[in-house]
């Protein structure tokens, strides 16, 4: 008798679980304008408000649809900010990481590795924390390491202050920034490799749209009612 009485309860519970799952909606998540609003994934929730603040991660290679095959080691992080009327979730770029195996390959035995963390502010006032890693072909003396740290920080801050955040981020991800860094420290010591292993973007980046055929760092400001009125005038 006990077994027969428990059956309706199990059926009710199963139906409730199924009903809750059916009530959930799938939202497609889009990257900001500096990534051409590319679709970066999906998330589900009962209400749109529930997905605000959720974070998603994808690689640079996946975001570009395989066009940047050599950038599979760059992981991009996004955070959902809002849901649009057409059911899309808009996310902002909050930073990147290099994969741990890629970092391990850089710092091989008998090579000198320099790690540091720098807080920079871009031309348009966006604060970004950068964590570069520099690798020397051989072990470096402490005083040279200190000089290299100072020079790297100096170059990064100068580059950030001279560019809007969208341009700075694109140059960082495309590798242009590390080339500038390598040139900047060359007079002190020709480093074997230098990378930005991690970035943390502390504020939203202005929504700039980059044409698909534009070179790294080139961006066009998204049209707004204010801009349209000014143009018409």
- Same structural domain for residues 182 and 213? yes
Does residue 78 sit in helix, strand or coil? strand
Average pLDDT of the chain, as a whole number: 82
User: Residue 158 sits in which domain range?
Assistant: 99-218
- Same structural domain for residues 24 and 86? yes
Distance, CA of 191 to CA of 167 (rounded, Å): 25
Task: Name beta bridge partners: 44.
Answer: 26
Q: For the chain, how many structural domains are there in total?
A: 2
* Residue 232 maps to a domain: no
Q: What is the pLDDT of residues 97-136, one digit of tens each?
A: 999 999 888 877 667 889 999 999 999 999 999 999 998 8
- Same structural domain for residues 54 and 159? no
Domain at 196, CATH number: 3.30.479.30
Lookup: tokens for 202: 């502390």
- Same structural domain for residues 43 and 91? yes
pLDDT of amino acid 232? 34
* Last residue in a domain, options 98, 132, 163: 98
Task: Name beta bridge partners: 25.
Answer: 45
Task: Judge contact between 29 and 43, C-beta under 8 A.
Answer: yes
- Same structural domain for residues 156 and 211? yes
Does residue 210 sit in helix, strand or coil? coil
Lookup: tokens for 197: 């292993």
* Residue 49 maps to a domain: yes
Average pLDDT over residues 36-46: 91
- Same structural domain for residues 192 and 203? yes
Q: Rounded to two decimals, what is the model's pTM?
A: 0.78
pLDDT of amino acid 208? 58
Angle of helix 142-161 relative to helix 176-185, nearest 10 degrees?
A: 130
Q: Quick one: CA torsion of 222, 223, 224, 229, rounded to 10 degrees? A: 150
pLDDT of amino acid 152? 96
């Amino acid at each position: 008798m006990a077994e027969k009485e428990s059956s309706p309860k199990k059926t009710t519970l199963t139906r409730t679980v199924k009903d809750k799952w059916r009530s959930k909606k799938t939202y497609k998540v889009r990257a900001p304008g500096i990534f051409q609003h590319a679709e970066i994934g999906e998330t589900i929730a009962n209400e749109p408000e529930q997905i605000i603040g959720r974070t998603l991660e994808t690689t640079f290679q996946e975001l570009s649809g395989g066009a940047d095959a050599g950038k599979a080691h760059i992981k991009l992080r996004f955070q959902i900010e809002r849901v649009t009327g057409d059911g899309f979730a808009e996310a902002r770029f909050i930073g990147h990481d290099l994969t741990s195996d890629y970092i391990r390959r850089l710092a091989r035995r008998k090579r000198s590795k320099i790690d540091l963390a720098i807080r920079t502010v871009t031309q348009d006032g966006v604060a970004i924390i950068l964590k570069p890693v520099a690798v020397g072909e051989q072990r470096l003396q402490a005083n040279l390491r200190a000089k290299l740290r100072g020079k790297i920080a100096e170059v990064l801050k100068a580059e950030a202050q001279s560019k809007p955040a969208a341009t700075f981020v694109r140059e960082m991800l495309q590798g242009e920034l590390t080339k500038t860094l390598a040139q900047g420290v060359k007079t002190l010591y020709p480093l074997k490799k230098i990378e930005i292993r991690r970035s943390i973007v502390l504020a939203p980046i202005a929504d700039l749209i980059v044409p698909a055929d534009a070179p790294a760092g080139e961006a066009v400001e998204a049209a707004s009612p204010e801009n349209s009125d000014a143009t018409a005038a």
